[in-house]
Amino acid sequence: MISLDNPRDSAERVVSELLRVPPAADELGRIFADHGHRLHLVGGSVRDALLGRTSAEGVAAKVPADLDFATDARPERVLEITRGWAEATWSAGIAFGTVGLARRGLRFEITTYRSEAYDRTSRNPQVSYGDSLEADLSRRDFTVNAMAVSVPEHDFVDLFGGMADLARGVLRTPASPEASFDDDPLRILRAARFEAVLGLTPGPELVEAMRSRAQRLTIVSPERVRDELRKLIVAADPVAGLERLVEVGIAEIVLPEVAAMRMEIDEHHQHKDVYAHTMTVLRQAMTCEEPGAPDEVLRWSALLHDIGKPRTRKHIPGGRVSFHHHEVVGRDMARRRLAALHFPKDVTDAICQLVYLHLRFHGYGSGDWTDAAVRRYVHDAGPLLGQLHKLVRSDCTTRNRRKAAALARTYDSLEERIADLSAREEIASIRPELSGDDIMALLGLSPSRLVGQARAHMLEFRFECGLVGREAAEAELLRWAREHEVAIPGEQE
């Protein structure tokens, strides 16, 4: 990693650091030069080389998976001069001036010098091409992303003090922050993400522009907002980014349920601050992850697990507060928010199930959980059981050490019971001992709702009694059929 304590020294050494860029990048630069065009590495590729990292998300690797370039060549010209060199091309972003290439397992994104701006109603930028690197860099989001290195010459370009800002840990925009955010409102979210990912602190002018331009985010497509939030949540310090969103009023637009957790606490109805508690849970959940392997589902679940509390809060005698069924309300709220952001269904389902289940453990402490209840807990968690364990343990944030220790012992007990049952029977994927085909054969039924009802009963029987063997399971099915007046083949009316 290059030391940024001395920017001049860093500038002189940047070339040696950038030698880690694959030779294919210099090959590409020579192709452009031979055809009378300029090519520069830009943005995160340069920033991360200065920081000694290869990904804006902090994932270390010997070679970056993607390299971003800027050029004076128009997209059609890029496709023309790289034909035969690129092993694959894609043009999904060509309307925005970007052409994608692949060679030797690397991806190259080449964007024509451009400027872009939103009008007051459009969700997509209006792109116009430029003719100079200087103008192109001036329209980039932040100074730390407005540095460039020519290929193959490796001449370093830093017109806006991006390297010095990296050294100081400051986030600034090349142009005025208001103009930058007007050009692309998504940069408001990106500022919070860079605070979370790189630990760069927005300056006062930037913070004020984030606050004053927050409503501009309403014109940005949900997919672009979603992508920024997903990158933020898996950052090194997502709490810093989330707190910035709440502070400047952006969370009220993109994650209003999180902002709403800042409930007032008056002197007559003292209760744990839900917002502060949530951030603590998120931090604790992160400590449960494998090093370098952020768990997006676990982190979202930690962030959203208590969003149902504001809607379910009730003051009860004695100055206490209740939040009955907040896990059910929270699950439904989480599903609506994630759907509005166009999250993938599998990610949404996992997060919502963890939100729904996070409170169930607290009934275990009363000591009345049967083996059937333990089986249901494991069955309902399914493949999320490990993440549920982490979420529940992270949710115990009491400052009372004795209470915290008691909760930990209680959950240890539950995990021990799960392990004990697992040793005696397969509870990780509980299913009835009789399949749907078995039920239809025994009762002489065709596929129907009645078969589903019979199977549901046999699943409950499995929860209550465990593995009893086929003979006992068939006897229970016949008993249920008689009770529900289902005709059984071979038995007289």
User: Tell me: the pLDDT tens digits for 250-260?
Assistant: 999 999 999 99
| 196 vs 95: which has the higher pLDDT | 196
Quick one: pLDDT at residue 270? 46
Quick one: pLDDT at residue 80? 95
Kindly report, residue by residue over 119-163, the tens digit of the pLDDT: 555 555 566 788 899 999 998 999 999 999 999 988 889 999 999
Residues 71 and 162 in one domain: yes
Residues 26 and 162 in one domain: yes
Residues 160 and 29 in one domain: yes
Residues 1 and 67 in one domain: yes
Instruction: List the domain range (segments joined by +) for residue 215.
Output: 169-254
214 part of a folded domain: yes
Residues 156 and 242 in one domain: no
Strands 156-158 and 147-150 come out as antiparallel
Residues 324 and 368 in one domain: yes
Residues 149 and 3 in one domain: yes
Residues 155 and 245 in one domain: no
Quick one: pLDDT at residue 493? 55
Kindly report, residue by residue over 425-447, the tens digit of the pLDDT: 666 667 788 888 888 988 888 89
Whichever domain contains 188, its CATH number is: 1.10.110.30
57: pLDDT strictly greater than 50: no
Residues 104 and 175 in one domain: no
* Domain termination residue (choose one: 167, 195, 222): 167
64: pLDDT strictly greater than 80: no
Q: What is the mean pLDDT of the chain?
A: 85
Residues 393 and 334 in one domain: yes
| 416 vs 121: which has the higher pLDDT | 416
Inter-residue contact 171 to 144 (CB < 8 Å): yes
* Domain termination residue (choose one: 424, 452, 471): 424
CB neighbour list of residue 362: distance below 8 Å, 6 or more residues apart: none
* Domain termination residue (choose one: 116, 145, 167): 167
Whichever domain contains 131, its CATH number is: 3.30.460.10
Q: List the one residue out of 218, 31, 256 whose CA is nearest residue 118.
A: 218
How many domains are contained in the chain? 4
Quick one: pLDDT at residue 368? 72
Residues 384 and 419 in one domain: yes
Inter-residue contact 146 to 159 (CB < 8 Å): yes
Kindly report, residue by residue over 360-379, the tens digit of the pLDDT: 887 766 667 888 888 888 88
CB neighbour list of residue 132: distance below 8 Å, 6 or more residues apart: 72, 113
410 part of a folded domain: yes
Residues 161 and 21 in one domain: yes
Task: Give the mean model confidence (pLDDT) for residues 196-202.
Answer: 95
